[in-house]
Structure 1
Amino acid sequence: MIKTHSHANDALVFLHGFCESTKVWEKFAKPLEHKFRIILLDLPGFGQNTQNIHDYSMESMAGYVKQQLDEMGVKKCVLIGHSMGGYVSMAFAEKYGNMLNGLCLFHSSALPDTPEKKENRNKTIEFVEKHGVATFMESFVEPLFYADNRKKLRQEIEMMVQIGKDTPKESITAGLAAMRDRPDRTEVLQKLKCPVLFIFGKDDGAVPLEKALEQCYLPDNSMVNFLAKTGHMGMFERPYETRKAIEKFAETIYG
């Protein structure tokens, strides 16, 4: 699904994470619409974009994003990637860096999976194959949120579980394999010409704090937000702070 408006040259492009869709951004990005051109994309295999997936990798998804932007006449943008969307953003930065005015890694990383994480991806693939998507989603979403936030964000958690349950099994297993096999892109981060915004949750099990610290000094120009009592889902856990961070970042770029 694509949201757009008249600001032609100040695009913010939002990429969702694994087992998510544009729905995770809709409410979050709405207040930014009066200042920027907001583009929400469903990555291949997710949301409304579940047509056939043959070649599934971060690189092919980055190619899909490029194709969509070309079709919309977007020559340059600020790319905001949540989690897996951040991995796609890093692949995009490597191939099409000249199209970036800025890059935001939103609870994401340029680092590859550790051997332990790769092993976990394999176990998860086996689990999904054996028990199905619905069973997997019941246990997958809640731990992404900081423990103390889970009760008050019950509705958001249920929405995410539902988005996941509506995702084809092939998208989930192919997505897990693609994340497992993605390369180290810290060098891309180092060479990037555009400013980079990092948003990290201090209690994010998926992107541990020490891994976050390892990379936030790599770009020439970076802004970093560490959020206390926040897990992996800042757009729900800390919507005001994370939206303000993105708005401020985009304003420094677009003036």
Structure 2
Amino acid sequence: MIVKFKETAVFYTDTGKGSCVVLLHGFLENSTMWNAVVEEVSKRNRVVCIDLLGHGNTGCIGYIHSMEEMAMTVKAVLKELKIRKATFVGHSMGGYVALAFAEKYPKSIKGICLMNSTSQADSEERNKLRLRAKEMAKKNYETLVKMSIANLFAENMRLVLSKEIEKVRVEALKIPVRGYIAATEGMRLRENKEIVLQAIDKRLMIAGKQDPILNYKIVEDEAKRTNTPLIELPNGHMSHIEAKNELLKVLTEFVKS
């Protein structure tokens, strides 16, 4: 299904009945990453998945897709569906968007799960990496994407999950260079949302012990600082692939609580 936001088509799916759960994908992903989660969670809930700006079947609206602008596209979908409140699960960039949504529309939030994500702004090192990636995207996009996808997985899982990694690469390469750059800039410029996270009564963080993108110790410290429950999984950045069964149990419990 499609809703228009700033004259751009925003793609979403709407499955099941009950309390609403919104699933937001990460960078270089799209709503199909949630297929297994939708199948399970929609048995008792209404599940909405959205292709964020420049990803999947949703177009670009500019050269910077801020997390706030992406949150506004989510609001447009929920308004179309007449959904007033929802529980959000955001993977990586999807977590940043969920927090931006919570800041803009606090009354629409039942709870938030940050999955392989953080409420922190980019570190100086991460900021520099994003700037380098942005420049490389203009010159050698395919190589950049292929390399980036492999680096999301725990090192010991890359050979075991080679077929799954290739599928993720195929989906990622459908994203236009403009979409890559706009999202990269949006993530790079985002601000710390720790206070926003703390203000949400129902909250959870899920982190991979071997996540090559988000250092587990830093996430653990953030969880302690914000008094947010933290679930540790024995994987990298891609919990929905590397620890699918464990993740499904955790998300089912979170949505139910």
Q: Please state which band the TM-score falls in when normalised by the shorter chain.
A: over 0.9
Alpha-carbon distance change, 137 to 231 in structure 1, aligned in 2, over 3 angstroms: same
* Identity %, equivalent residues: 30
The partner residue of 1:215 within 222, 234, 237 is 222
Q: Is the 8 A contact 1:45 1:53 kept in 2?
A: no
Q: What is the RMSD of the two structures over their aligned residues, measured on CA atoms?
A: 1.5
Q: Distance in 2 between matches of 1:118 and 1:54?
A: 17
Q: Is the 8 A contact 2:16 2:43 kept in 1?
A: no
The partner residue of 1:227 within 227, 230, 233 is 233
Task: State the shift of 1:218 in Å.
Answer: 4.5
| 1:31-50 equivalent positions in 2, closer than 5 A | 31-50=40-59
Aligned to 2:133: 124
- Give the letter for the 1:213 counterpart: E
Aligned to 2:194: 186
- Give the letter for the 1:131 counterpart: N
Aligned to 1:30: 39
Aligned to 2:4: none
- Give the letter for the 2:250 counterpart: A
Aligned to 2:174: 166
Gaps of 5+ in 1: none
| 1:45-124 equivalent positions in 2, closer than 5 A | 45-53=54-62, 56-124=65-133
TM-score for the superposition, normalised by structure 1:
0.92
- Give the letter for the 1:105 counterpart: L
Aligned to 2:150: 142
SS class of match (1:2): strand
Gaps of 5+ in 2: 1-10
Q: Distance in 1 between matches of 2:121 and 2:189?
A: 8
Q: Distance in 1 between matches of 2:252 and 2:52?
A: 23
Deviations 1:63-114 (A, max 9, x none): 1101111111111111010000111111111111211111010000000001
Q: Is the 8 A contact 2:63 2:182 kept in 1?
A: no
TM-score for the superposition, normalised by structure 2:
0.91
Deviations 1:170-219 (A, max 9, x none): 11011111111100111111222x31111000111211112212221355
Alpha-carbon distance change, 236 to 61 in structure 1, aligned in 2, over 3 angstroms: same
Q: Is the 8 A contact 1:50 1:168 kept in 2?
A: no
Q: Say if 2:7 is the partner of 1:3.
A: no
Alpha-carbon distance change, 81 to 6 in structure 1, aligned in 2, over 3 angstroms: closer
Q: Distance in 1 between matches of 2:202 and 2:110?
A: 7
Aligned to 1:205: 212
Q: Distance in 2 between matches of 1:137 and 1:17?
A: 14
Moved more, 164-173 or 23-32: 23-32
Q: Is the 8 A contact 2:41 2:252 kept in 1?
A: yes
Write out the 4+ residue segments of structure 1 that deviate beyond 6 Å after TM superposition. Answer: none
Task: State the shift of 1:6 in Å.
Answer: 4.8
Q: Is the 8 A contact 2:15 2:48 kept in 1?
A: no
Q: State the aligned residue count.
A: 247
